[in-house]
Amino acid sequence: MQVHAFDGLDLTSVDEVCRILEEAAAASFDAVCRRGSVDWVDAPGRLVATGDIHDNPLHLSRVIEAAGLNGDPADTPDSERSHLTLHELIHGENLVGGVDFSYRALTRVAALKVAFPEHVHVLLANHELAQIVGSGIVKDGVRVVEAFNDGVERVFGDDADRVHEAIALFVRAMPLALRCETSRGVIQCSHSVPSPAMMGRFDVGILDRELTEEDYRPLTGSAHMMVWGRHYDAESLEDLVERWGVTMFVLGHEKVPEGARFVEPCAVVLNSDHANGVYLPIDLTEPPAPEEAPSMARRLAEPVYE
């Protein structure tokens, strides 16, 4: 039987939901692995990297299981835990009468972060950022920010503003990336990287410092540029490799119908939300070359037996 850190959580209680989100924000900032706007981990160990989740509860459960984080933290030795990246959690297809209740997925992941603060790495993504700054996103004809707001207001009524504030607190605590120091170089997981057109305005030093409110501003903020970046090419990736000392990028954000794709010279793009969604297990002691990684991705439509 699956056991999760969020089992028994009352997702209709304003006090409980706000408490979990606020505790997760504190856990994000206070984690030993946090440096600047990045989580850092070192080999040995194991990484379970994911792409966009978009409120897919089955796939979320399976990546938690694959990372060995589906038990009581007190009964789970560190040696059995993997590092797990999660991002793009909200704004899924599971609407009820046009209303989005994916605040629940965000709160469940917040509870997981509280339980495993050094192993769960909830990365900033464009949909979470859009939600807290009010940017308009239309997905499959749905205005997703408004649909999410409707879900919070449907459940919490006059207390909806408290929940929105707690969500914003958690989102602003999310790191931009997870960086893994391995014997074969640095693996960096992030939702995306800036597009080539943005590089002239992007602050490449953002990973070494705390984020500011300016970083979140639409179009001009460096955090915004990073999570919204598309159409990066070999030249722009090589530029970031040189500036950041990265051997392999593991990204989401782009649509990948097959689940995993290699982008020359050193990026792997994952999707974890659709029928062909995958996760990528990486042994940090002997990580694969970037071009080999997509063949190692595992389908989430199949049960995990690890």
Nearest Cα residue to 104 out of 22, 6, 19, 15: 6
Distance CA 127, CA 134 (A): 10
Spatial separation of the C-alpha atoms in residues 263 and 285, rounded to whole Å: 23
pLDDT average, residue stretch 200-206: 95
* pLDDT at residue 137, rounded to an integer: 82
Angle between helices 160-173 and 126-133 (to 10 degrees): 140
14 touches 154 (CB < 8 A) = no
Which residue has better confidence, 8 or 113?
113
Q: Is residue 295 part of a domain?
A: yes
The string of pLDDT tens digits covering residues 89-110 is: 999 988 999 999 999 999 999 9
- pLDDT tens-place string over residues 267-290: 999 999 999 999 999 999 999 999
Residue 8 lies in a domain: no
Residue 115 lies in a domain: yes
Q: Mean pLDDT, to the nearest integer, of 42-52?
A: 96
- Our count of domains for the chain comes to 1
Share of the chain above pLDDT 70, in %: 97
In this predicted structure, the answer to whether residue 130 has a pLDDT above a threshold of 90 is: yes
User: Average pLDDT for residues 255-261, to the nearest whole number?
Assistant: 95
What CATH number did the domain enclosing 19 receive? 3.60.21.10
Asked whether residue 138 is domain-assigned, the answer is yes
Domain that holds residue 143: 14-299
Say if 2 falls within a structural domain.
Answer: no
Is the pLDDT assigned to residue 253 strictly greater than 70? Answer: yes
Is residue 5 assigned to a domain?
A: no
Does residue 214 lie in a domain region?
Answer: yes
Quickly list DSSP for 111-127.
Answer: HHHHHSTTTEEE---HH
Whether 281 is covered by a domain: the verdict is yes
pLDDT of residue 72: 74
Do residues 293 and 280 make contact, with C-beta atoms less than 8 angstroms apart? yes
Q: Mean pLDDT, the chain, as a whole number? A: 94
Given the DSSP bridges, would you call strands 95-96 and 99-100 parallel, antiparallel or unpaired? antiparallel
For position 140, what pLDDT does the model report?
Answer: 76
Q: What local confidence, expressed as pLDDT, does residue 1 receive?
A: 44
